[in-house]
């Protein structure tokens, strides 16, 4: 898709709504989310520009959003699933129409002060919700550097990548019920682990709680019938948008349980998702070429064009009552396996995919130590503690720590961002 076909992406666009310098949410972004006004009010589908949330149900009631397939229930439902159920047509129309209404030269909404007061509400007065009813969740393992690092720690550099890794996007099915919206705190998980390899397992709170820096994508209407496949050529027609994703991990619990069936209690206790879904359309200008894949992949995983995206990512740790230390700066473009390949592989066996399914990238690590996407790598399995700016150090995440992740893409004077995803770790129950 060419950027010239998406007028809402025009870098010259300006809005009559004040957008602070450096905001993640200029007129060229216009993401989707679900929020509830503080002090009362219905949960509604919203977009955002600058520090203002836009209640789309109010604009619909005012006759400013008119599309033959769009109805009010899509904008007043407490999740985005209905809005994306029929593919990209409706959300693409809504984003383009919002872009028109918010331009400096359009007074259609701007000059109706009563409507502006009703439709636009400051982000501080909105409680953002989990944006989707997530029916299914799949976590991939698509960063070569991350897979190599983990393989070096637990095997050896010569055999760091398992034999299948360069041939297919490795993934597993995760737990959707424990995916939580940004700002929801959680208790340190408990489980079995082995403090000493030669000793019997013990039960207790994890001693190696970790974050995983990931980006997830949400599917439009998929292929709901068993047996249907999604090719790499058509995959992006099934991708609505992207979110930041922290797939929390209990490394010691995971290390003891994962053979032979993979992650279980070490991963299913909590995963944090950002509230704003940035559309694939808004990220169109930030496409980049992916790495050369050697050995060549099988035909169903081959693709044409630029399927990777240049999205800068960072992770910060905030101790209880302390200041933030940015411990990692990475980039979404570091993935070896892109989203189109992930979705094609997910469905090549006939697995059906539905609107609102979440697919996560797996930990995203760059090729330098300061770009690793987990404490497991940053502290190299606890052997190299990470120094905090306010004093102290971390091998893994401690009780009272808040982990915050941010992401944005920037080019031609336009910054398209996600805001952040954050959660605080509470003591084990």
Same domain, 304 and 365: yes
φ, ψ for residue 324 (rounded to 5)?
-80, 140
Q: pLDDT at position 42, please?
A: 83
- Residue owning tokens 């993640």: 24
Q: pLDDT at position 366, please?
A: 97
Number of domains in the chain: 2
Same domain, 99 and 168: no
Rounded to whole angstroms, the Cα distance separating 132 from 79 reads 5
Rounded to whole angstroms, the Cα distance separating 243 from 195 reads 35
Same domain, 23 and 152: no
CATH number at residue 102: 2.30.30.230
Same domain, 66 and 96: yes
Residues 235-264: tens digit of each pLDDT: 999 999 999 999 999 999 999 999 999 999
Same domain, 93 and 158: no
Q: Would you say residue 276 lies in a domain?
A: yes
Residues 190-234: tens digit of each pLDDT: 999 999 989 999 999 999 999 999 999 999 987 888 999 999 999
Q: pLDDT at position 221, please?
A: 80
Q: What is the pTM of this model?
A: 0.96
Residue from 146, 308, 346, 408 carrying the catalytic annotation? 146
Q: Which helix (H) or strand (E) holds 117?
A: helix 113-119
Same domain, 214 and 300: yes
Q: Would you say residue 390 lies in a domain?
A: no
The better pLDDT of the pair 2, 18 is held by 18
Residues 313-364: tens digit of each pLDDT: 999 999 999 999 999 999 999 999 999 999 999 999 999 999 999 999 999 9
DSSP letter (8 states) at residue 268:
T
Q: pLDDT at position 241, please?
A: 98
Same domain, 113 and 161: no
Q: Would you say residue 148 lies in a domain?
A: yes
**What is the tally of helices (H) and strands (E) in the chain?**
10, 26
Rounded to whole angstroms, the Cα distance separating 186 from 423 reads 7
Return the SS3 of 319: coil
Q: pLDDT at position 222, please?
A: 72
Q: Would you say residue 406 lies in a domain?
A: no
Q: Would you say residue 405 lies in a domain?
A: no
Same domain, 158 and 253: yes
Q: pLDDT at position 1, please?
A: 36
Return the SS3 of 131: coil
Q: Would you say residue 108 lies in a domain?
A: yes
Q: What is the mean pLDDT of residues 269-291?
A: 98
Q: Would you say residue 156 lies in a domain?
A: yes
Rounded to whole angstroms, the Cα distance separating 91 from 225 reads 23
Nearest to 125 by CA among 20, 41, 21, 15: 41
Rounded to whole angstroms, the Cα distance separating 311 from 341 reads 18
Nearest to 32 by CA among 94, 97, 101: 94
Query: In terms of residue numbers, what domain contains 168?
Result: 137-310+331-371
Mean pLDDT for all residues in the chain: 96
Q: pLDDT at position 3, please?
A: 42
φ, ψ for residue 294 (rounded to 5)?
-135, 120
Nearest to 254 by CA among 213, 206, 204: 206
- Any catalytic annotation for residue 146? yes
Q: pLDDT at position 4, please?
A: 45
Indicate the residue among 99, 128, 157 that finishes a domain.
128
Same domain, 44 and 153: no
Rounded to whole angstroms, the Cα distance separating 93 from 89 reads 6
Estimate to the nearest angstrom the gap between the alpha carbon of 90 and the chain centroid: 22
Same domain, 194 and 284: yes
- Residue owning tokens 């990548």: 161
Estimate to the nearest angstrom the gap between the alpha carbon of 253 and the chain centroid: 25
Rounded to whole angstroms, the Cα distance separating 359 from 238 reads 12
CATH number at residue 339: 3.90.850.10
Rounded to whole angstroms, the Cα distance separating 251 from 288 reads 33
Residues 360-379: tens digit of each pLDDT: 999 999 999 999 999 999 99
Same domain, 207 and 351: yes
Indicate the residue among 128, 160, 195 that finishes a domain.
128
Q: Are the C-beta atoms of residues 268 and 339 closer than 8 Å to each other?
A: no
* Total length of the chain: 429
Q: Would you say residue 202 lies in a domain?
A: yes
Indicate the residue among 109, 128, 147 that finishes a domain.
128
Task: End-to-end CA distance of the chain: give it in Å, rounded.
Answer: 50
Same domain, 195 and 233: yes
Estimate to the nearest angstrom the gap between the alpha carbon of 373 and the chain centroid: 14
């Amino acid at each position: 898709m060419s950027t010239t076909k998406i007028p809402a992406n025009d870098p010259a666009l300006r809005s009559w709504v004040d957008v602070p310098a450096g905001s993640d949410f200029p007129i060229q972004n216009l993401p989707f989310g679900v929020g509830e006004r503080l002090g009362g009010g219905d949960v509604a589908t919203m977009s955002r520009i600058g520090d203002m949330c836009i209640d789309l149900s109010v604009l619909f009631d005012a006759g400013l959003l008119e599309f033959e397939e769009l109805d009010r229930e899509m904008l007043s439902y407490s999740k985005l699933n209905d809005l994306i159920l029929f593919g990209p047509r409706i959300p693409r129309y809504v984003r383009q129409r919002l872009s028109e209404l918010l331009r400096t030269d359009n007074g259609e909404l701007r000059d109706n002060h009563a409507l502006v007061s009703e439709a636009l509400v400051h982000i501080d007065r909105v409680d953002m919700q989990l944006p989707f009813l997530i029916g299914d969740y799949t976590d991939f393992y698509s960063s070569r550097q991350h897979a190599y690092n983990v393989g070096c720690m637990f095997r050896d550099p010569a055999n760091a990548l398992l034999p299948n890794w360069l041939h297919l996007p490795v993934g597993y099915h995760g737990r959707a019920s424990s995916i939580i919206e940004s700002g929801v705190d959680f208790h340190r998980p408990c489980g079995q682990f082995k403090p000493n390899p030669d000793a019997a397992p013990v039960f207790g709170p994890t001693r190696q709680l970790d974050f995983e820096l990931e980006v997830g994508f949400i599917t439009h209407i998929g292929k709901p019938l068993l047996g249907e496949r999604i090719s790499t050529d058509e995959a992006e027609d099934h991708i609505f948008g992207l979110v930041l994703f922290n797939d929390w991990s209990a490394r010691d619990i995971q290390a003891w349980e994962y053979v032979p069936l993979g992650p279980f209690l070490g991963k299913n206790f909590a995963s944090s998702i950002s509230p704003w879904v940035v559309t694939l359309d808004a990220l169109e200008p930030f496409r980049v070429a992916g790495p050369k894949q050697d050995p060549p992949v099988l035909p169903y995983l081959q693709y044409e064009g630029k399927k990777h995206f240049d999205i800068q990512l960072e992770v910060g740790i905030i101790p209880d009552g302390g200041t933030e230390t940015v411990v990692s700066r990475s980039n979404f473009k570091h993935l070896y396996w892109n989203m189109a390949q992930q979705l094609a592989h997910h469905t090549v066996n006939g697995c059906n995919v539905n609107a609102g399914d979440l697919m996560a990238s797996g930990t995203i690590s760059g090729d330098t130590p300061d770009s690793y996407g987990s404490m497991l790598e940053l502290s190299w399995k606890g052997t190299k503690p990470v120094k905090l700016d306010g004093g102290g150090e971390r091998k893994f995440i401690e009780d009272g720590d808040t982990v915050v992740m941010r992401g944005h893409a920037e080019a031609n004077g336009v910054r398209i961002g996600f805001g952040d995803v954050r959660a605080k770790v509470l003591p084990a129950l």
